């Protein structure tokens, strides 16, 4: 990922969690982007513009920020990858791995560029990794307590664009 102005260097983090739900349930719920504020405490709103574009509003290091993101790759039951196209520089991927009929491993890998001293200090102290792990823990609690997904988008996104799937 390119760094934004000022010469800040990109950082990255990774978080993993195992859920006691089938692979398709975990993946399907993660496609419900507008529900992210239910388990991501720093996110106030995610609006899905179309099958490939999202608008985010979140608090980053105590500051309100907004950005647009583009889904660059989406393969049902395997992965969702994105990159920001405006605002807060970030990119990442969430992958899904079956560990049996009703157990799934979810791995989040993310790169981001801290934009100021406060964000750089928080990054140095591991704040983003801690928050990512806490978000996945809340996702696990939410999904396991509910027992099923609230919706699904089974389309595919890749270099050739969007290939529709069952909604």
pTM comes to 0.89
Q: What is the pLDDT of residues 132-167, one digit of tens each?
A: 999 999 999 999 999 899 999 998 998 777 776 644
Name the maximum alpha-carbon separation found in the chain: 48
Task: Choose which CATH entry (3.40.50.620, 1.10.645.10, 3.30.300.30, 3.30.530.20) describes domain 10-30+71-147.
Answer: 3.30.530.20
- Crossing angle between the packed helical segments 127-146 and 117-124, to the nearest 10 degrees: 70
What integer pLDDT is reported at residue 167 of this predicted model?
Answer: 47
Q: Where are the beta strands (DSSP E) in 10-114?
A: 11-19, 43-48, 53-60, 63-75, 79-86, 90-98, 104-112
- Which band of pLDDT confidence, cut at 50, 70 and 90, is reported for residue 131? very high
Report residue 2's pLDDT band, with 50, 70 and 90 as the boundaries: very low
User: Where exactly are the structural domains of the chain?
Assistant: 10-30+71-147
Percent of the chain's residues with pLDDT above 90: 71
Q: How far is CA 25 from the centre of its chain?
A: 16
Matching residue, tokens 């990159």:
83
Determine contact, residues 45/57, Cβ cutoff 8 Å: yes
Give 70-114 pLDDT, tens digit per residue.
Answer: 999 999 999 999 999 999 899 999 999 999 999 999 999 999 988
Cα 80 vs. chain centroid, distance in angstroms?
8
């Amino acid at each position: 990922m390119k760094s934004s102005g000022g010469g800040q260097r990109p950082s990255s983090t990774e978080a993993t969690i195992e859920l006691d739900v089938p692979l398709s349930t975990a993946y399907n719920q993660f496609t419900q982007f507008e529900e992210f504020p239910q388990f991501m405490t720093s996110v106030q709103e995610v609006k899905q513009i179309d099958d490939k574009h999202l608008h985010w509003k979140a608090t980053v290091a105590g500051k309100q920020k907004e950005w647009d993101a583009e889904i660059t790759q989406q393969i049902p039951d395997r992965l969702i990858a994105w990159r920001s196209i405006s605002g807060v520089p970030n990119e990442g991927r969430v992958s899904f791995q079956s560990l049996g009929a009703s157990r799934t491993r979810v791995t989040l890998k993310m790169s981001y560029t801290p934009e100021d001293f406060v964000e750089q200090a928080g990054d140095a102290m591991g704040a983003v990794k801690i928050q990512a792990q806490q978000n996945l823990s809340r996702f696990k609690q939410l999904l396991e307590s509910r027992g099923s997904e609230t919706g699904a988008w089974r389309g595919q996104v890749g270099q050739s664009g969007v290939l529709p799937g069952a909604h």
